[in-house]
C-alpha cells in the first residue's frame, strides 16, 4: 500500500510541475503524515506540503491543479482502476512558519521535488523536556503515572515515555524523538506544567 501511495503522490507532483506557471516559487514538495511514516491505512489521506516563497500568489493555482489532476485521464483510468482514491491534502506555505508541523516533516518527510541537500551531520533529532516540581502532589502523581507508567499488583502499565521511545534522564528531565515531541508538549500543556524545551542532535 505504501509504495502505491508514494507513486500516486509522485504522479500528482509530476502533473503539478508540468502544469504550473510558477515553478520558480516552489522550493520543495514533501510527503508527510501517515503515508511517509509507513502506517497509512486504505483510507488515509495523502498529505503533501508545498514549501513556497509566497503562498498568496500561488495557492489558488496549486488547488486548481489538484482539481485538474483528479479530473485527468491518468487518475480516472489508472489510479481509480487500482482502487486508489485517497484524498490528496495540500498544505501550502513557508515551512519555517509552520512551527507545529515542521518537526514531523523533518523527522519523517519524503522529498518529492526539490534540490538535493546532503546531510552535513549524522545523528538523530531529539527533544529535551525539563521541569521543576509539579504541585499539588496529587497532580504530580497523576502526571508521573501517565508519563512513566506504573505497576498495580502483578500488572505493569506503560506510560507515554515507553510508548513513544523516550528516555528518563533524571527526576524532571526526559528526552524524546523529535517526531513525537508534539505529543509530549501537549501532555504538559494539559497539566499546565511549565517546561523548558531544547532540541538537540544525538549522535
Quote the cell numbers at residue 127. 527533544
Domain boundaries, the chain: 1-114, 124-202
10: left (phi over 0), alpha (psi -120 to 50) or beta: alpha
Q: Identify any residues that bridge with 174 across adjacent strands, giving them in sequence order.
A: 129, 168
Bridge partners for 156 per DSSP: 151
pLDDT category at 37 given cuts 50, 70, 90 is: confident
CB 172 within 8 A of CB 179: no
Fold of 124-202: Alpha-Beta Plaits (3.30.70)
Instruction: Tally the C-alpha atoms within 13 A of residue 172's C-alpha that lie toward its C-beta.
Output: 12
pLDDT, one tens digit per residue, over 136-190 is 999 999 999 999 999 988 889 999 999 998 999 988 999 998 888 889 999 999 9
Domain 1-114 has CATH 3.30.460.10: yes
User: What pLDDT is stored for residue 202 in this prediction?
Assistant: 72
CA atoms within 13 A of residue 140's CA, in its CB half-sphere: 9
Q: Check residue 191 and give its pLDDT.
A: 93
Note the pLDDT tens digit of each residue in 107-128: 788 999 998 665 545 667 889 9
State the Cα–Cα distance between residues 129 and 173, nearest whole angstrom.
6
In angstroms, the CA 144 to CA 122 distance is: 33
Neighbours of 31 (CB within 10 A): 21
Amino acid at each position: 500500500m505504501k509504495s502505491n501511495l508514494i507513486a500516486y503522490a509522485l504522479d500528482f507532483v509530476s502533473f503539478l510541475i508540468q502544469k504550473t506557471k510558477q515553478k520558480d516559487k516552489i522550493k520543495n514538495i514533501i510527503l508527510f503524515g501517515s503515508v511517509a511514516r509507513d502506517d497509512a491505512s486504505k483510507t488515509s489521506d495523502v498529505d503533501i506540503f508545498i514549501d513556497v516563497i509566497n503562498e498568496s500568489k500561488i495557492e489558488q493555482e496549486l488547488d486548481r491543479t489538484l482539481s485538474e489532476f483528479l479530473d485527468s485521464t491518468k487518475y480516472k483510468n489508472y489510479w481509480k482502476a487500482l482502487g486508489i482514491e485517497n484524498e490528496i491534502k495540500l498544505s501550502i506555505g513557508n515551512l519555517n512558519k509552520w512551527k507545529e508541523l515542521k518537526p514531523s516533516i523533518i523527522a519523517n518527510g519524503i522529498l518529492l521535488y526539490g534540490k538535493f541537500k546532503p546531510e552535513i551531520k549524522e545523528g538523530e533529532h531529539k527533544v529535551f523536556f525539563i521541569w521543576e516540581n509539579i504541585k499539588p502532589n496529587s497532580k504530580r502523581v497523576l502526571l508521573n503515572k501517565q508519563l512513566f507508567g506504573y505497576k498495580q499488583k502483578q500488572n505493569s502499565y506503560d506510560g507515554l515515555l515507553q510508548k513513544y521511545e523516550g528516555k528518563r534522564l533524571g527526576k524532571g528531565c526526559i528526552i524524546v524523538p523529535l517526531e513525537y515531541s508534539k505529543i509530549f508538549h501537549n501532555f504538559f500543556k494539559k497539566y499546565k506544567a511549565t517546561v523548558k524545551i531544547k532540541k538537540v542532535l544525538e549522535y
